[in-house]
Structure 1
Amino acid sequence: MASSTAGNQEYGTRPDPAFTNENNQRLGFRFDAEILYIEPWGPDSLRIRATCLATLPEREWALTEKPSASTPVIDIQGNSASITNGKIKADISRRGKIVISNTKTGKVLLEEFARHRLDILDPKCSSLRIQPREWKPRLGSPDYHLTMRFES
């Protein structure tokens, strides 16, 4: 009997990406060594945090003042997931690419820049092998440097 942790054909021996609904307050995405959370941050806004550590640090960093509470709508559909907070919506694909749009107009406001062949049906499929988020370890430290790429 095959083990369920053996992964799948597309990803080899790596496990499938996983989406989570964290107490109906934030959308979680886990794949490989990355953990990513998208959560409401006041009216019509979202906060995106990511880490390559085992857990996301609880420190608030630059955003120290907690905004007014809001209840997001989180929708997980197997190969993709989304979180909506008022007039803003973030969709995340099974590849981890985030697209942020206006819920009233449907217009894409911000999209992560990714150019690779992981999804051959993507109109932006390319041989450049550019990931939307690039993690580089800092030598002699448990920390990472993150480069994020966006287009609008």
Structure 2
Amino acid sequence: MYLPDRAFTKDLKRIDKRLGVKFNGYNVVVTYDRGWGDPVNIWVVKGDQGGFRTPDRRDVEAIAASNIERESPEEKFQRVSKYYQKVREDVRRKSRENIRDMTKDSKIQLRQAVAKVENQSKANSTFRRIENKPKGQVFG
């Protein structure tokens, strides 16, 4: 089994302590430990032809350039708080629209429910009424 150079591993740990290295049988893979579950593959070290290549400084620089955790804690807090504020507003808006659509789409059912609760009278039926047409002569 191939073990990567210790200097390469140390350089990765300087970028982020959750970065690690493993060999998958064909290539060296840089992994990221999320804190739960198995580590996730984030970078595969390949040669020009797609074959095996030993990891070196180029890979460390590429991973450091793609590091998105370089924001200050204040910026991260504001970004996360804006996201969750938007989520809360979307939930409120969707619940309002859902209630509005329920009452708008089923006026007859709503009218029936109100009549039943207030014990007013029989509610109107939702199906088509058939009028009784008397045959023959009607005296009235």
Shared topology, TM-score over 0.5? no
TM-score, normalised on structure 2? 0.23
Q: Write 1 or 2 for the structure with the bigger share of strand.
A: 1
TM-score, normalised on structure 1? 0.22
User: Which is greater in Rg?
Assistant: 2
